[in-house]
């Protein structure tokens, strides 16, 4: 399953709820959720711990738009829009966490 999160974990519980509820799969962080995959933020350790259970993908254009491309945590996979589509095609189902 592809889990899509678009809200910052510093302001919303969508990513936390996903990590606590889902049993695995791909996570795609888009829009403000990309902050979760940057070094030095309060959610970094939690995201790193989840990497054993989930493959973490980050939409690169959103990361770049926020000036954070150089702060991507090791192990997170940056994807472009074609990569977003490839993830959606590769997964049988998609869940947007609101």
Give the 3-state secondary structure of the chain: CEEEECCCCCCCCHHHHHHHHCCCEEEEECHHHHHHHECCCCCHHHHHHHCCCEEEEEEHHHHHHCCCHHHECCCCEEECHHHHHHHHHHCCCEEEEC
% of residues, the chain, pLDDT over 90? 98
Mean pLDDT, rounded, for 61-80: 97
Report the pLDDT value the prediction gives residue 94, as an integer from 0 to 100.
Answer: 97
Average pLDDT score over the chain: 96
| Global confidence as pTM | 0.96
Structure tokens at 73: 């945590």
Please state, as a whole number, how many other Cβ atoms lie within 10 Å of the Cβ of residue 74: 7
User: Quick one: which of 27, 96, 35 has its CA closest to 65?
Assistant: 35
Mean pLDDT, rounded, for 30-47: 95
Mean pLDDT, rounded, for 69-91: 97
Domains by residue range for the chain, with CATH: 2-97 (3.40.1260.10)
- Predicted confidence band of residue 91 (pLDDT cuts 50, 70, 90): very high
Mean pLDDT, rounded, for 33-44: 94
């Amino acid at each position: 399953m592809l889990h899509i999160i678009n809200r910052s974990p510093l302001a919303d519980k969508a990513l936390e709820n996903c990590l606590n509820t889902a049993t695995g799969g791909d996570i795609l962080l888009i829009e403000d959720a990309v902050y979760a995959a940057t070094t030095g933020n309060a959610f970094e350790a939690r995201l790193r711990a989840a990497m054993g259970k989930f493959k973490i993908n980050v939409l690169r254009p959103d990361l770049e738009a926020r000036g954070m491309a150089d702060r991507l945590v090791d192990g997170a996979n940056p994807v472009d829009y074609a990569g977003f589509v490839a993830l959606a095609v590769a997964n049988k189902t998609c869940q947007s966490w609101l």
